[in-house]
């Protein structure tokens, strides 16, 4: 069947023409053989909801090529600007907001009335009330431990006096006993005080009050005066104490003396040391039954840092040992030497050896330096095959009966006391004060702490850096200072009391 109007073929199931919309003739008719052209678009009805017309095809968008590098750069630049704005403006505001518990709109007004029985009107203060802070044990009588008032200000050329002048009562010397009349009580020492405890207190005090004890400086001299005060506080008298002042020329200052420490010479002005100031050793002699002498040494000067490990550790070890040995009957005469000017070429050690009356009386020398530079606690003992040549040749480390006895003591203490002492004979050649005694043909022991790198070489973690600070080390490596000072304090006392 075909539509009578437009001639389109009709569908049987519909009652109208889908092309022109004409009502289907019930009878219908056959498509004529020839039919004139009819414009069908003119008869297309508007679309109905049931049969919408298809939308005309839409051409795809034209893709334009862009420079990827330019886009990435723009994104990075935008991100950088946003980060900078946050870092300089947003972050401080955020920290202030998070860190403050105070209201931001109300003023900080606090009412304070310390007198509960008073009828007076409470006082209004803009300051917040003080928080209750738990008390921390302080160094006993710290204010008395300051150097005598006589000590001149930095830059003053301190005079040198002979023992004869001191014996005649010349009080112009800063080391005259009259300047040390205010002596505090010593640190407590009883059987319940563990080994190393006293030394740790000394380390903290030196770190906080006598930092930057560089050679020939006023701070080094203040530290020396503090050492004298500590020895007097322990109960020693001036007959037991000697302050050995020396000028840089007294020890034959040459470039050879600085070969081992040439890397650190940038810290010092040698013209300043030559022309103005003195350094000093502080020497304590503890008489024994024998005239043979055991020298126990440690330098107390530093580079331009607090110097907790280098070398408040060795200085504090000697102080605790001296306090303990005062109450012990020792056989050998023990000479504790707190060396000055070690950091610029072992000058204090040279001066001590040069003026010692009889080097043959020295049985051996123990040197303590950088005791907690790492987790390994090392002792090394021996003498040098090149001793006495004066050539600073390293030579070969050799053992004798004394050093073998030290090894036996270390093994016993490791087993009985749970220590972790390790023997390294090559330690006697480390750059410290024992080298002077080693060159003089004396058997030496070196005590130090260290870590090891991948090649098995000594690796010092804090030496000559801002990290050489008591508080940094305690926060970074808790208990390392306590372990080191306990270990070396027990070992040193056992070595001093042994019979050789």
Domain boundaries, the chain: 1-49, 142-497
pLDDT exceeds cutoff 60 at 153: no
Residue 450 has pLDDT above 50, yes or no: yes
- pLDDT at position 460, please? 82
Q: Which range has the worst mean pLDDT, 42-56, 71-85, 376-390, 485-499? A: 42-56
Is residue 105 scored above 50 in pLDDT? no
| 431 pLDDT higher than 80 | yes
The mean pLDDT of 353-382, rounded to a whole number, is 95
Q: Average pLDDT for residues 431-460, to the nearest whole number?
A: 88
285 pLDDT higher than 90: yes
Helix (H), strand (E), coil (C) string for the chain: CECCCCCCECCCCCCECCCCCCECCCCCCCCCCCCCCCCHHHHCCCCCCCCCCCCCCCCCCCCCCCCHHHHHHHHHHHHHHHHHHHHHHHHHHHHHHHHCCCCCCCCCCEEECCCCCCCCCCEEECCCCCCCCCCCCCCCCHHHHCCCCCCCCCCCCCCCCCHHHHHCCCCCCCCCHHHHCCCCCCCCCCCCCCCCHHHHHHHHHHHHHCCCCCCCCHHHHHHHHHHHHHHHHCCCCHHHEEEEEECHHHHCCCHHHHCCCHHHHHHCCHHHHHHCCCEEEEEEEECCCCCCEEEEEEECCCCCCCCHHHHHHHHHHHHHHHHHHCCCCCCCEEEEEEECCCCCCCHHHHHHHHHCCCHHHEEEEEEECCCCCCCEEEEEEEEECCCCCCCCCCCCEECCHHHHHHHHHHHHHHHHCCCCEEECHHHHHCCCCHHHHHHCCCCEEEEEEEEECCCCCEECCCCCCCCCCHHHHHHHCCCHHHHHHHHHHHHHHHHHHCCC
Rounded to an integer, the average pLDDT of 240-246 is 93
142-497: which CATH topology? Aminopeptidase (3.40.630)
């Amino acid at each position: 069947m075909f539509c009578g109007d437009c001639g389109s073929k009709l569908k049987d199931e519909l009652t109208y023409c889908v092309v022109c919309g004409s009502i289907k003739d019930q009878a219908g008719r056959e498509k004529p053989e020839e039919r004139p052209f009819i414009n069908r678009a003119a008869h297309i009805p508007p679309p109905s909801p049931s049969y919408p017309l298809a939308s005309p095809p839409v051409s795809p968008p034209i893709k334009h090529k862009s420079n990827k590098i330019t886009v990435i750069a723009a994104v990075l630049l935008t991100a950088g600007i946003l980060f900078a704005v946050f870092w300089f403006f947003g972050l401080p505001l955020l920290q202030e907001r998070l860190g403050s518990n105070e209201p931001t709109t109300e003023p900080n007004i606090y009412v304070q009335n310390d007198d509960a029985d008073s009828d007076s009107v409470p006082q209004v203060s803009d300051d917040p009330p003080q928080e209750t802070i738990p008390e921390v044990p302080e160094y006993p009588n710290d204010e008395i431990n300051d150097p005598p008032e006589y000590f001149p200000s930095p830059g003053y050329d301190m005079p040198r006096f002979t023992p004869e002048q001191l014996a005649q009562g010349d009080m112009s010397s800063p080391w005259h006993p009259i300047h040390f009349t205010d002596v505090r009580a010593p640190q407590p020492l009883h059987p319940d005080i563990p080994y190393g405890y006293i030394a740790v207190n000394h380390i903290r005090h030196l770190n906080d009050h006598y930092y930057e004890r560089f050679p020939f400086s006023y701070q080094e001299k203040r530290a020396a005066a503090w050492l004298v005060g500590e020895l007097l506080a322990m109960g020693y008298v001036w007959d037991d104490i000697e302050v050995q002042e020396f000028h840089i020329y007294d020890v034959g200052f040459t470039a050879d003396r600085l070969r081992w420490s040439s890397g650190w010479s940038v810290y010092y002005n040698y013209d300043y040391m030559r022309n103005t100031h003195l350094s000093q050793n502080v020497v304590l002699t503890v008489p024994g039954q024998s005239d043979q002498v055991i020298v126990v040494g440690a330098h107390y000067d530093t580079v331009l840092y607090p110097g907790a490990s280098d070398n408040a550790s060795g200085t504090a070890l000697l102080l605790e040992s001296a306090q303990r040995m005062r109450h012990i009957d020792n056989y050998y005469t023990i000479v504790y030497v707190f060396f000055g000017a070690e950091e610029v070429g072992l000058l204090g050690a040279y001066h001590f050896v040069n003026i010692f009356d009889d080097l043959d009386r020295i049985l051996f020398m123990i040197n303590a330096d950088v005791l907690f530079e790492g987790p390994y606690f090392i002792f090394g003992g021996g003498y040098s095959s090149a001793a006495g040549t004066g050539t600073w040749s390293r030579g070969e480390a050799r053992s004798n009966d004394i050093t073998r006895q030290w090894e036996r003591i270390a093994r016993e203490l490791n087993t009985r006391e749970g220590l972790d002492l390790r023997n390294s004979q090559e330690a006697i050649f480390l750059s410290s004060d024992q080298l002077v005694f080693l060159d003089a043909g004396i058997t030496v022991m070196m005590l130090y702490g260290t870590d090891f790198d991948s090649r098995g070489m000594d690796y010092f973690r804090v030496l000559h850096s801002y990290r050489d600070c008591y508080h940094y080390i305690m926060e970074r490596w808790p208990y390392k200072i306590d372990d080191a000072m306990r270990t070396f304090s027990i070992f040193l006392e056992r070595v001093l009391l042994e019979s050789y």
